[in-house]
Amino acid sequence: YPYYGANGKIDSVNDFIFDGNYILLAEDGGYFDDPSRRVAYEVSGKFWVNNHAHILSPCNQIFIKFLTYYLNTIHWMEYVTGTTRLKLTQEGMKRVIIPLPPLEEQKRIAEILDRSQFLISKRQEAIALLDTLTQAIFIEMFGDPVTNPRGW
């Protein structure tokens, strides 16, 4: 079964303690000071989670994807404690105010964000392919720099 910590899957284990759809929110060791990195992620099925993540189970009025996106946009530094290792305590987490549009609006927002995330992923893939294209053109024009077949 997947074994999760503050920042995602760490390993696999032979047992599980949760079965269902949840959001894991970093407790300590999360990227609270780096807005470009996630601190919350969705998990589903059977899994084990260590003590470095809060386990959230949204009620029926909250769409899980909407909440996950929202949690990943918060400026967390005002809610965390610690200097060398930032920690989001349960008290700090409870201070977070979450705007709650109607459920259908939450789904619509999450769908738009899913599509934009898909486009971002495709753009990143295209950039990676362009990097390999640049390398291939270089080798075609000048030869392999390691073997130096043209004696340059």
For residue range 65-75, what is the model confidence (pLDDT) as tens digits?
999 999 999 99
Write down the pTM of the prediction: 0.80
pLDDT digits (tens, 9 = 90+) for 131-146: 899 888 988 888 888 8
Phi, psi values for residue 93, rounded to 5°: -65, -40
Contact of 48 with 54, CB cutoff 8 Å: no
Residue 118: how many other CB atoms lie within 10 Å: 10
Here the tokens at position 118 are 């898909």
